Amino acid sequence: MKNLLVIGGGRRGRGLLEILCNDRDINIIGIVDINENAPGIKFAKTINISTYREYVTLFDDKPIDIAIDVSGDPSVLLNVTRIKKEGTEVLGGLAARLISDILLERHDAHNLIAVQKKEIESILHGLGEGVLILDKNNNIYLINPVAQRFLGVKDEIKLSQKEHGAILEIIARTTELNVPVVEEIDYVKRKEGVETSKVFNVVATRIDDSEKNLFAIATILRDITAEKEIERLKNELIANVSHELRTPITSIVNSLYLMDTTFPSEKQVKFLDIIRKNTERLLRVINNLLDISRIEAGMLSLKMDIVNIPSLVDDVIFSVKGLAFSKKIKLDVDIKKGFPDIYGDKEGIAHVLINLLSNAVKFTPEEGNVVVSCREMDDDVHISVEDNGVGIPAEELDKIFNKFQRARTAANIEGTGLGLAIVKHFVNLHKGRIWVESEIGKGTKFTISLPKIDKYFHLSLDEEILHAKIEETYFSVIQLKLENYLKIKSEEEKQKILYNIEEKIKTEIHKTDRVIRYKDKGFFIILLKAGKKEAEKVTKRLEKFVDEDLFKDIPQKIYISYGIATFPEDGTDKETLLKKIETEFEDEENSSS
pLDDT at 18: 81
CATH 3.40.50.300 for domain 460-592, yes or no, is no
Q: What share of the chain is helix, strand, coil (3-state, %, to 5)?
A: 50, 25, 25
Report the C-alpha gap between 399 and 570 in whole angstroms: 46
Report the C-alpha gap between 486 and 348 in whole angstroms: 29
Strands across the sheet containing 559-567: 514-518, 522-528, 475-483, 559-567
pTM above 0.85, yes or no: no
pLDDT at 451: 94
Per DSSP, 303 falls in state -
CATH classification for the domain delimited by 230-296, as one of 1.10.287, 1.20.1740, 3.40.50, 1.10.10: 1.10.287
pLDDT at 578: 92
- Closest by CA to 312, choosing from 357, 275, 361, is 357
Q: Which fold has domain 2-109?
A: Rossmann fold (3.40.50)
Residue 381 CA: distances (Å) to CA of 113, 341, 346, 420: 48, 9, 15, 20
Report the C-alpha gap between 431 and 304 in whole angstroms: 12
- Closest by CA to 474, choosing from 464, 483, 463, 482, is 464
> Which amino acid is located at 447 in the chain?
T
Q: What is the pairing mode between strands 89-91 and 66-69?
A: parallel
In order, the DSSP letters of 135-184 are ETTSBEEEE-HHHHHHHT-SS-SB--HHHHHHHHHHHHHHHHH-S-EEEE
Report the C-alpha gap between 327 and 323 in whole angstroms: 7
- Closest by CA to 302, choosing from 351, 372, 353, 250, is 351
pLDDT at 485: 67
- Closest by CA to 426, choosing from 535, 506, 348, 508, is 348
pLDDT at 570: 92
pLDDT digits 0-9 by tens, 500-537: 888 888 888 887 788 887 766 688 999 988 888 889 98
Per DSSP, 340 falls in state P
**Phi-psi group of 362: left, alpha or beta (phi > 0 → left; psi -120 to 50 → alpha; rest → beta):** alpha
Homologous superfamily in CATH for domain 127-223: PAS domain (3.30.450.20)
Domain boundaries of the chain, sorted by first residue: 2-109, 127-223, 230-296, 304-451, 460-592
Extract the residue ranges of the chain whose pLDDT is less than 50. Answer: none
pLDDT at 142: 82
pLDDT at 239: 67
pLDDT at 74: 76
pLDDT at 400: 85
Q: Which fold has domain 304-451?
A: Heat Shock Protein 90 (3.30.565)
- Closest by CA to 100, choosing from 33, 40, 52, 54, is 40
In this structure, how many other beta carbons lie within 10 angstroms of the beta carbon of residue 173? 19
Report the C-alpha gap between 336 and 280 in whole angstroms: 37
